[in-house]
Amino acid sequence: MIKLVAGTVLLASLCGAVDRDMQRAIAWERHKDRAAAIQARKEARHPSVTYSNNSANRSAEDEPQGRKVVDPGPSPKK
């Protein structure tokens, strides 16, 4: 009988701990969602990146600038 009562108390305390952990996890996710929404509103008001700008074009078709460097390969062993 004592083992049954002790087991029931242990089970109840474990369920309570799981419940508290779940509540903390949900609260953390809500906090992250609020922070992401605040950041999105800030970026909508003051965008730091413009996508209409073509100055970051890094295509491979451009002519290389500077002089060509040739790799001499490994040096002969002495």
Domain boundaries, given as residue ranges, for the chain? 1-46
Q: How far are the Cα atoms of 40, 42, 43, 44, 51 from residue 48, in angstroms, in the given order?
A: 12, 10, 7, 9, 10
For the question of whether the overall pTM of this predicted structure is more than 0.85, the answer is no
pLDDT values of the chain reduced to their tens digit, one per residue, 78 residues: 777 667 776 666 666 777 888 899 999 999 999 999 999 999 898 877 666 655 666 666 666 677 888 888 888 776
**What is the distance in angstroms between the CA of the first residue and the CA of the last residue of the chain?**
87
Q: In the numeric block, which tokens belong to residue 76?
A: 């002969």
